[in-house]
Structure 1
Amino acid sequence: MSLSKPNVVVLDYGSGNLRSAVRAFERAGATVELTSDMDAAMAADGLVVPGVGAYEACMRGLRAIRGERIIGRRLSGGRPVLGICVGFQIMFETGVEHGVTTEGCGEWPGVVEKLHAPVVPHMGWNTVDVAEGSTLFAGVEDERFYFVHSYGVREWLLQTDGRTEAPKVTWAEHGGDRFVAAVENGPLVATQFHPEKSGDAGAHLLRTWVSSLKSA
């Protein structure tokens, strides 16, 4: 008898390349549902929070379906959440775009701001400086991933007290500006890049996350 596949909900709040995300997670070995239903999102083995476009618009859409509560409740219960692109950015306290400051989900301290690079958006393939001991990047430490963004987190502010495991923070650089490319923090994992658009390396990363769900 074969083992059942992990169930993943891709959160539908009006933002993100939803169909491509669904297909990518199906290829990674999950049973995938695209929905905004709170009960389904709470019950899933893993929740994926995609996102493209403006920070403020994404947060408005997320709040319309009580998405910030879904994320917070899952994480408080140790249930896995994966954020992608703006779905990564909204995990931080605030985003500042075009002079507008928007409150995020506040799972991590920090500000999403415009990259200090000569050319934005940062669009295309880039290497990453993988955090020591990373599980997410195991086997793809030297690979390139696909980024499309003009804003990022340029300073990691979360302080740990030594009693809990410190988050694993992976960095990248564009135009001489360093920014956070991914974070692994217990049940909350998020990437600034698009793993679903990152070829074999991204597919490997998604399989790694999906395979971790049944043991979570």
Structure 2
Amino acid sequence: MIGIVDYGRGNLRSVEKALEKVDFETTIMTSSAELEGVDGLILPGVGAFADAMEALKSGGWIEPITQFARSGRPFLGICLGMQVLFEVGEEHGEHAGLGLLAGRVVKFPPGGKIPHMGWNSLNLEQPSRLLEGIPNESYFYFVHSFYAVPSEKSDIVATSDYGVVFPAVVGKGNVWGAQFHPEKSSPWGLTLLTNFGKWVNEYAALSSH
């Protein structure tokens, strides 16, 4: 079972529908108590970094999500949900993130059209089970004004280029993030969600023994 965190800042239904389309069972969670019953977790997000962190805090999600990440169960942040995995966000001042990945989230430099909105290709930097079967330079759908700068280069799985080369997929251990919206990214987005779902099912099968 894949849990989708409902903290008032996410595009929940489209994520849920995309996972259902590739035959994975999901539950939209409105309480952190429900984390106990899921084998994988998706943290979606749309909007501002500080607002997202405030909503997670007021909903009592921060400590339970941190514990979930430490449990080894598969965890995927999408768009803003990826950005809050990092230590600091620079939107409207500095704000602390979840700190599950080392680094900070910064604004695109002036010059390009902000937000970065539309289809952009990925450059695969290293093999990843999340991107299995997805060719280099496949296109995904982005909507964002800020991007992550990981402290550790090894956490960058794929990059994209929008005047500046930025991380499009990040990951360390069981914690992963996609800057784009896989649920809006046609076949390759569904491939990524299928890979995540298979990983969740493997974890569930192993932990039930």
Q: TM-score, normalised by structure 1?
A: 0.88
Aligned to 2:126: 132
Aligned to 1:4: none
| 2: CA distance, partners of 1:156 / 1:11 | 24
Q: Would you say the 8 A contact 1:51–1:58 is kept in 2?
A: yes
Give the alignment's Cα RMSD to 1 decimal: 1.4
Deviation at 1:145, TM superposition (A): 0.4
1:146 is the counterpart of 2:151 = no
Alignment map for 1:169-208 (pairs within 5 Å): 169-175=157-163, 177-208=164-195
Aligned to 2:107: 114
Aligned to 2:15: 21
Alignment map for 1:1-216 (pairs within 5 Å): 7-98=1-92, 100-116=93-109, 117-142=111-136, 143-153=138-148, 155-158=149-152, 166-175=154-163, 177-216=164-203
Count of residue pairs brought into register by the alignment: 201
Q: TM-score, normalised by structure 2?
A: 0.91
SS in 2 for 1:133: coil
Structure 2's unaligned 5+ residue stretches are 204-209
SS in 1 for 2:34: helix
1:100-148 Cα offsets, whole Å, 9 max, x none, are 2111001112111111252211100011111222211121123100000
The answer to which structure has the higher helix fraction is 2
Deviation at 1:168, TM superposition (A): 5.0
* More deviation, 197-206/110-119: 110-119
Q: Would you say the 8 A contact 2:115–2:144 is kept in 1?
A: yes
**Identical amino acids, percent of aligned pairs:** 35
Q: Would you say the 8 A contact 1:71–1:81 is kept in 2?
A: no
* More deviation, 45-54/63-72: 63-72
Label 1:70 to 1:141 Cα distance change in 2 as closer, same or farther (>3 A): farther
Q: Would you say the 8 A contact 1:55–1:95 is kept in 2?
A: yes
Deviation at 1:16, TM superposition (A): 1.2
Q: Would you say the 8 A contact 1:42–1:70 is kept in 2?
A: no
Deviation at 1:211, TM superposition (A): 0.8
Poorly superposed stretches of 4+, deviation over 6 Å = none
SS in 1 for 2:16: helix
| 1: CA distance, partners of 2:201 / 2:188 | 22
| 1: CA distance, partners of 2:124 / 2:194 | 18
1:172-200 Cα offsets, whole Å, 9 max, x none, are 1102x111111122211110000000001
